[in-house]
Structure 1
Amino acid sequence: MYRARDQVENEAYVETIDEIGDALDLSDRARSRATDVFLSNVPNDERSKRAVLAASVYVGSLVAGDRRSQSAVAEAADVSRLTVQQRWKDLVEETGFDAPEW
């Protein structure tokens, strides 16, 4: 879980989640889940925040049943698909969700 302070300190990233959500036409539920996942896993390293943000959007879309491809999320978040691929499962598990078994 995250603190209100985390949301204030990362306001620009939360806004970016909404921008990515607009680009992907994500539901409000998916955006809310992505925000929760991101704020619960904000890294200290500024360089890693964009990668965690992108993976959080992917996880949020999965959990909300508003699934988007890793490639689509990566493109909208301006990161590589590999970045999303390498991080999403850990975020799912760290936030207490069950990773899909495809």
Structure 2
Amino acid sequence: MYRARDQVDNEKWVEAIETIGDRLDLSETARSRATDVFLSNVPEKDRSKRAVLAASVYVGALVAGERHSQSAVAEATDVSRLTIQQRWKTLLEETGFDAPDW
């Protein structure tokens, strides 16, 4: 879990989730889950934050039951699909969410 201070310290990244959510037409639930995942796993280096952000958006959509391809999320977040592919399962497990059974 994260602290309220984490949200303040990473305000620009939380705002980025909202912007990306608009691009992908994500529900409020998906955006909220993406924010939870991101803030629970914020890396120290700014360079890694974009990758965690992208994977968090993908996980948030998954947990909310919204189907968005890794490619669509990668394009919306300006990372490679491989970046999401390498990180999303770990983030899902570390935050304790379950993927939907499709």
Give the percent of matched residue pairs that are identical in Structure 1 and Structure 2.
80
Deviation at 1:27, TM superposition (A): 0.4
- 2:63 corresponding residue in structure 1: 63
- 2:34 corresponding residue in structure 1: 34
- Letter of the 1:50 partner, please give it: R
Matches of 2:84 and 2:48, distance apart in 1: 12
- Letter of the 2:94 partner, please give it: E
- 1:92 corresponding residue in structure 2: 92
Deviation at 1:33, TM superposition (A): 0.3
Deviation at 1:98, TM superposition (A): 2.9
Matches of 1:75 and 1:64, distance apart in 2: 20
- 1:5 corresponding residue in structure 2: 5
- 1:24 corresponding residue in structure 2: 24
Query: Which ranges in structure 1 are unaligned for 5 or more consecutive residues?
Result: none
CA shift digits 1:61-98 (9 cap, x unpaired)? 00001121000000000000000000000000000123
Matches of 2:97 and 2:80, distance apart in 1: 24
CA shift digits 1:39-75 (9 cap, x unpaired)? 0000011100000000000000000011210000000
Supply the RMSD in Å over aligned alpha carbons. 1.3
Task: Kindly report structure 1 stretches of 4+ aligned residues shifted beyond 6 Å.
Answer: none
Matches of 2:30 and 2:98, distance apart in 1: 16
Matches of 1:2 and 1:61, distance apart in 2: 20
- Letter of the 2:78 partner, please give it: D
Matched, 1:51 2:26: no
The total of aligned residue pairs comes to: 102
